Amino acid sequence: MQIFRIQGGSSLNGEVKIDSAKNSALPILAASVMTEDPVTLLDVPDIEDVSNMIAILRGMGVSVTREGSAVTVRAKGDLSGELPPRLEKTLRASVFMVGPMLSRTRAFTFGYPGGCEIGLRPIDLHERGLRALGVVIDESGGRLRCDGRSMRGAEIHFDYPSVGATENIMMAAALLPGKTVIHNAAREPEIADLARFMNACGAKVSGAGRQTVTIQGVRKLRGVVFRPIADRIAAGTMLASAAITGGDLRVLNAPTCDMVAQTSKLRGMGCEITEGPNELRLKAPKRLKSFGQIQTQPHPGFPTDMQAPMFTLATVADGVSLLVETVFESRFQHARDLQAMGADVTIMDRVAVVRGVPKLHGARVKAHDLRSGAALAIAALAAEGETEIEQVSQIDRGYAALEVTLRGLGAKITREERG
């Protein structure tokens, strides 16, 4: 088992460049199988979730090569009509293969996906959307067998603006006869980016990033070289790391327009933030102020993926902060570990009350999921003494060699093996 060992007390200073967004790269990798032409994606982060998606593609007979940060997908010829059971549990985003494969082959079998344990995250909206497109789904033995021979465009309304379901239906509809209209679609920037990729390949998608998305089916897609948008959550994590340590940090390749919810809260905590073309600079105060209240919401509200890092900032901010988690029901798992580090936290169902303390102290803690792991690393940077973070494989799912990045900014952090 690998751990992070972090000696707190060093401020983070310098500059860091942000890679393409994990939550954009994963569905775009899946969408690449809708054409037999080569697709090359640039600035793809070297993280576990991407490695797992590449393994899934290869397990289905897709050729995938990686040279540095460029990944090339060649989905030529016959592909497996089933998601590899041994791989699908490694990655929640494995469900993204359903839409593209049905669009291309009209038949696919898969099981329930894995990923972070942050709540139920059911796929019922995916299933309802697929059935509206004419897919017949038979469930037995924990596998879902999809027959898409009668697929056609349709009107679909989501009860909740699910990111994954919106993206899956967009991809499923791309090569269908007729027009598909998704009402109450999710509006996250990564959805607009997926549409931008699909349109570059020859698809006809309009309205992505708004509540109504229209997909006019086409007969064929072509290959493309494409750079996904930068990762707004990785950028926010770096800003939070600098904020809690009293640092001065420039974040290059930052998607500034997609980060307003984050930067406005950081400014309210006393951080000085200046914006340039695709970059942000944060200068932290001596002590952060309470942000008052954060309630996670679908975009353009405050992103649930930044709740845990902001929770950590609240533990040392002057005043009382309130966090309301409306997206996932099990996303305060970091609270117990932060309490072990001296945080004053009260949890009531999906509401956390955090009373800032002057200092946290080092402890042995565990990364329960991707974002809580990042939050604990942020806490350790500012804590007195040494912190050990176990189960760092969770952090590796979404941050490429985080310890290397933080060390380059002045942090005292090492990755070690523990038997």
pLDDT digit string (tens) for the chain, length 419 residues = 899 999 999 999 999 999 999 999 999 999 999 999 999 999 999 999 999 999 999 999 999 999 999 999 999 988 988 887 777 777 767 889 999 999 999 999 988 765 444 444 468 899 999 999 999 999 888 788 999 999 999 999 999 999 999 999 999 999 999 999 999 999 999 999 999 999 999 999 999 999 999 999 999 999 999 999 999 999 999 999 999 999 999 999 999 999 999 999 999 999 999 999 899 999 999 999 999 999 999 999 999 999 999 999 999 999 999 999 988 666 788 999 999 999 999 999 899 999 999 999 999 999 999 999 999 999 999 999 999 999 999 999 999 999 999 999 999 999 999 86
C-alpha distances (whole Å) from 195 to each of 27, 223, 380 are 11, 15, 39
CATH architecture of 22-226: Alpha-beta prism (3.65)
Residue 50 per-residue DSSP state: H
Catalytic residues: 116
Q: Which two tokens stand for residue 299?
A: 């975009």
Nearest alpha-carbon partner for 99 in 31, 194, 35: 31
Q: Where are the domains of the chain?
A: 2-16+230-417, 22-226
Helix (H) or strand (E) holding 412: strand 412-417
Q: For 237, list phi and psi in degrees, rounded to 5.
A: -65, -40
Torsion 284-287-289-291 (CA) sign? positive
Please tell me the CATH code under which domain 2-16+230-417 is placed.
3.65.10.10
Long-range pairs for 327-332: beta carbons < 8 A, 24 or more residues apart: 327/296, 327/297, 327/298, 328/118, 328/119, 328/121, 328/304, 329/119, 329/120, 330/117, 330/118, 330/119, 331/118, 331/119, 331/304, 331/307, 331/369, 331/371, 331/372
252, 15 contact by CB (below 8 A): yes
| DSSP per position, 63-124 | EEEEETTEEEEE--S---SB--HHHHTT-GGGGGGHHHHHHHHSEEEEE------SS----H
**Cα 167 to chain centroid, rounded:** 14
Residue type at position 412: K
Q: Which two tokens stand for residue 31?
A: 């969408």
Neighbouring residues of 172: CB distance < 8 A, sequence distance ≥ 6: 98, 99, 100, 102, 103, 129, 130, 133, 135, 148, 151
**The predicted structure's pLDDT at residue 312:** 97
Query: Residue 284, SS3?
Result: coil
**The predicted structure's pLDDT at residue 86:** 76
Distance from C-alpha of 309 to C-alpha of 396, rounded to nearest angstrom: 16
Same fold yes or no, 2-16+230-417 and 22-226: yes
Residue type at position 249: L
Tokens 């775009």, residue? 28
**The predicted structure's pLDDT at residue 419:** 67
Q: Which two tokens stand for residue 32?
A: 């690449």
Query: Residue 306, SS3?
Result: helix
**The predicted structure's pLDDT at residue 81:** 86
Q: For 261, list phi and psi in degrees, rounded to 5.
A: -60, -35
Distance from C-alpha of 4 to C-alpha of 378, rounded to nearest angstrom: 12
Q: Which two tokens stand for residue 351?
A: 């509401």
Q: Which two tokens stand for residue 227?
A: 């750079």
**The predicted structure's pLDDT at residue 122:** 65
Q: Which two tokens stand for residue 319?
A: 């005043």
Nearest alpha-carbon partner for 146 in 81, 79, 59: 81
Decide: residue 360, CB within 10 A, 0-12 exposed, 13-18 middle, 19+ buried.
buried
Tokens 């798992």, residue? 333
Query: Residue 171, SS3?
Result: helix
Distance from C-alpha of 241 to C-alpha of 249, rounded to nearest angstrom: 9
Tokens 């879902």, residue? 144
Nearest alpha-carbon partner for 135 in 171, 89, 92, 185: 171
**The predicted structure's pLDDT at residue 116:** 44
Distance from C-alpha of 27 to C-alpha of 20, rounded to nearest angstrom: 12
Query: Residue 9, SS3?
Result: coil
